[in-house]
Structure 1
Amino acid sequence: MHFPRFARGRKALQSFSNPISWQPTGKLQQTLAADVRLSGTGLHSGAATTVRLLPSMAGEGRCFILARGRSRIPATIENTVNTPLCTTLCREGATVRTVEHLLSALEACEVDNCRIVIEGGEEVPFLDGSAKGWVEAIGHVGTCLAFDYNGNTKEKMAPVLIDTSYVCKGDSFIIAFPSSKIHITCGIDFPKVPAIGCQWCSYSMDAYAMEISSSRTFCIYEEIQQMRSFGLIKGGSIENALVCSSTSGWLNPPLRFRNEPCRHKLLDLIGDLSLFARNGHQGLPISHLIAYKAGHSLHADFLRRLANISMD
């Protein structure tokens, strides 16, 4: 696989005057057919929280609601703030973090409009470290057409990439090419951790439920103490994360897939790119996306470039 030469330097950004065109998908906006309720522990806070997913009106999009203060935080790129090891949304002093797995499932399952109520804290439950629990719960209740306050449906639009665009930082990058459908290719490289090494995976969204959603997060054993000293991963355990040692390999096998770490990075990417959605429209750009050694902050940088183009 050959990639274009990027501008050199610590951080280079490429954008075009009009890389996105919003176009009809031929579908109508959907919401949940019934309430969903799941509880668990937050990865970083260690707090026990409950999330209720509630049906919502067409055009409302996906919005987090913190039960403590009734604060509302729309799941859009404008509310994203850079934090280590997770995706965090913040609006008017209210914060919700570790939203990426839930948003990944909602985007893939085409739950376009949804109120996400968090009780007991400000972090989404981490469940088993994948999006499997969310996908199964959504599948159990199903989806249905969403209607606005006048009883009307709304057509679902999608952002279609019409020109190549990329962001890069060092040797990490995300590049997107125009394509007739969504296809995502993801690569990671951990040369100091032989059990992980260099991995690649490539999927269309049709494969999400079977090939992507159950891929769990992972961490390097030798880095755990440092992360905890920074107040992170208080709720992390071998029950919700794969742990790999640079010398001993995987400490809690078996893996669900040979390249499960790479697939999980792709799961995260889908969740973060869903933040391009608004007003019940699709978030993932229709394009062939290639991400290499990319993390949450680079995902957000990529969306901020695309977000310069208004839907109006």
Structure 2
Amino acid sequence: MSGSSSRFFLQLPVHGFGLLSKGVPVFISAGKDNGMLQFFQLKRSAMILLLKELFGLLLDNNSHTKIYIDQHPLSMTLSGAFVAALRSSIFVSWKSTGRLQQTLSGSVERSGKALHSGKVSKVKLCPEFAGEGRYFKFRSNLIRATIDFAEESPLCTTLCKDGFRIRTVEHLLSALEATGVDNCRIEIQNSEPEEFDAEIPILDGSASEWVKVIEEVGLEVAIDRHGNSCERLAPHVNEPVSIWRNDSFVAAFPSPTVRLTYGINFPQVHAIGSQWFSSSPLDNLFYSEQIASSRTFCIYEEVEQLRSAGLIKGGSLENAIVCSSGKGWLNPPLRFHDEPCRHKVLDLIGDLSLFAQYGNQGLPVAHIVAYKGGHALHADLVRRLSGVI
């Protein structure tokens, strides 16, 4: 959609016009009328350039900025408008959530064994400025938790930049997104410091431990580097969109609230079979009580094949629920009768959080319906909503 255009208005205090005169690109037709700059049929690429130019100038002068699209006001700071320009597509509109961006009130650490590598790693969650979003720091390298750095990998979500990889990020990101930690620096240390790959500890196989540490340290309103708070925006799906792979799919439908519906089908494993789970609506409390504690699962007959492929080396009955096609569950009891399906919802939230940028909500305001999905399919939905595919 890079060639799409619309009518944009930036409403600014009068004292801002002197600053604007040198920041407006010459190829943009602009007029000034009673404190209003109007940009007619402004292409999205030009809008991005303009916002980049104005961003520092306006914040340095503590200007309150409003943006109007086709004469409909959106209440947001300029940072929010910048995100809207970067992530806009025919499928999504960014709107206010009615609250400010948040971050952690302090730092907290957890260590543990990784699911796939089997190695021990330590993760430190740290407060971060508003507008910075969530990102990983590994061996002095910064990798943002966005779809731009997601790469397809088996049985987990991996972020990669400049040869450095962070694996199995989905449970942690799921907890951060669902509990409202919009801005967070995630520092990770390997037991082998010279390696280029790191992996988030699996803990008990769910997101419950991450939710607990977030609740322990608490949240506070995040401020940016200029001492200002930022309004939190959310992506609202405007029209149905879907991604298919064979008989698997994930789709998003317009909805006034976030709803998640997931279906799985394991006909060869009767103890799992066909399951459906739906949340309506999804909020912090529902996530903490009904989703966060659901653990990752695997089929016993597939364990050796997966380990031969270099996967689940750190897997055990302490961090996963294991089901045999002939004997049923090997480590009962389950926390929910449909725990496998709920865990897929947990993964989905973590993967969709990659839509977030600059401290805004990643989880789309939509009814998301998935069937027999996986991390790659979830990521492709984010790419479709972003206008990448």
| Cα distance in 1 between the residues matched to 2:129 and 2:116 | 32
| Cα distance in 2 between the residues matched to 1:96 and 1:71 | 11
| Residue 220 (structure 1) aligns with | 299
- Give the drift of 1:92: 1.1
- Of 126, 142, 149, which aligns to 1:54? 126
Counterparts of 1:85-104 in structure 2, within 5 Å, are 85-104=155-174
| Cα distance in 1 between the residues matched to 2:221 and 2:134 | 15
Q: Does 1:110 align with 2:180?
A: yes
| Cα distance in 2 between the residues matched to 1:277 and 1:44 | 26
| Residue 226 (structure 2) aligns with | 150
| Residue 236 (structure 1) aligns with | 315
Structure 1's 102 and 17: CA in aligned 2 closer, same or farther, altered over 3 A? closer
Q: Is the 8 A contact 2:157 2:168 kept in 1?
A: yes
| Residue 128 (structure 1) aligns with | 204
| Residue 106 (structure 2) aligns with | 34
Query: Aligned to 2:182, what secondary structure does the other structure show?
Result: coil
| Cα distance in 2 between the residues matched to 1:28 and 1:181 | 18
Q: Is the 8 A contact 2:205 2:320 kept in 1?
A: yes
| Residue 375 (structure 2) aligns with | 296
Q: Does 1:264 align with 2:343?
A: yes
| Cα distance in 2 between the residues matched to 1:185 and 1:278 | 24
| Residue 4 (structure 2) aligns with | none
Question: Which protein is bigger by CA-based radius of gyration?
Answer: 2
Segments of 4+ moved more than 2 angstroms:
none
Q: Does 1:179 align with 2:258?
A: no
Q: Is the 8 A contact 2:291 2:342 kept in 1?
A: yes
Corresponding letter in the other structure for 1:208:
Y
- Of 272, 287, 293, which aligns to 1:208? 287
- Give the drift of 1:181: 0.5
| Residue 266 (structure 2) aligns with | 190
Query: Aligned to 1:49, what secondary structure does the other structure show?
Result: strand
* Identity between Structure 1 and Structure 2 (%): 58
Q: Does 1:25 align with 2:97?
A: yes
Corresponding letter in the other structure for 2:273:
G
| Cα distance in 2 between the residues matched to 1:59 and 1:188 | 36
Corresponding letter in the other structure for 1:97:
R
Unaligned runs of 5+ in 1: 1-15
| Cα distance in 1 between the residues matched to 2:383 and 2:371 | 18
- Give the drift of 1:175: 1.1
| Residue 135 (structure 2) aligns with | 63
- Give the drift of 1:93: 1.1
Larger mean Cα displacement after TM superposition, 114-123 or 285-294: 114-123
Aligned residues: 292
What do you get for the CA RMSD once the two structures are aligned?
1.1
Cα deviation 1:165-184 (Å, max 9, x = unaligned): 00011110111110000000
| Residue 306 (structure 1) aligns with | 385
- Give the drift of 1:270: 0.3
TM-score by length of 2: 0.74
The higher-RCO structure (CA 8 Å, 6+ apart) is: 1
Structure 1's 252 and 17: CA in aligned 2 closer, same or farther, altered over 3 A? same
| Cα distance in 1 between the residues matched to 2:154 and 2:373 | 13
Unaligned runs of 5+ in 2: 1-87, 192-197
Greater share of helix: 2
Corresponding letter in the other structure for 2:269:
V
